[in-house]
Structure 1
């Protein structure tokens, strides 16, 4: 199914990103803070790719149909599970952006620790979140939505992907760039 396949491929990209976060943090533990100029672009990646592009598509397309058609189980999975985790990720990113600003204004180890901790929290949350969606939410939707609804998900996903292709490609290039920076540092 096209729509769900796209979402799962985006999870692969988001997991690439959480892997990049982890590799940057390991380098920091080794004494090399590589990403002083990368925190804001990473926040922008999260806000514009992980959230607006990926979570937005889930919320506006797939989850909308699940809530409309699949009753109390979908209500629990989507509202109490996935929406809550999306909001939790957004809160982490809000706090991360605030911590980044404090650290940039006063670059102490304590302020850098706040940035590191929030980046790590985001990575942990999104890794578990992607696994839950891949293993539980998407299969539930594929099994229980009608053929007409699944076709609508595919059609709306194609339209979304066409409309936002430039954004997607821009952020996939950012992943390549970050991996290149790490490779050059032998991370």
Structure 2
């Protein structure tokens, strides 16, 4: 199993992996979860998939098992910045504005983690290992990008598995029902992991 952090600068080095990641996102979010999201050419995407973002793929032999998108909280593209902040600003009707306890950060050392998924085709026997790879890859990529903190919109059951994965995290917002389940914003501290 491999982890690859993709960017607009390096995607050409990885064949179909970038497209396969977006195809897996479509399967996960549009087909499985039935979310109303943009799609084209069999791929799911949105306004945050810009050159400012990075995408982490957990994959093997061309099959994408899981993925994560990282976006800097200083990102700007037209009226948009990053998903959590734009939801708080009322730009996204599908996510409640009161998703955070405080004002959304805008800081070059804070990155956002969204579009986190594990493919429904990922075999049950390797799911725990896939989760571990996701956490390690997210932490490594975020640190390499200069992040000391990650703000994430994740499943509200995060306390059950974040500790198991060794993440130093705390609730950054209230639990809320979005689309297909309960979600919550979480702040992940990376400063203790910077050794």
Fold shared by both chains (TM-score > 0.5): no
**TM-score interval, normalised by the smaller of the two chains:** under 0.3
TM-score w.r.t. length of structure 2: 0.26
User: Which structure ranks higher in relative contact order (CA pairs < 8 Å, sequence separation ≥ 6)?
Assistant: 1
TM-score w.r.t. length of structure 1: 0.27
**Looking at CA atoms only, which structure, 1 or 2, has the larger radius of gyration?**
1
More strand by share: 2
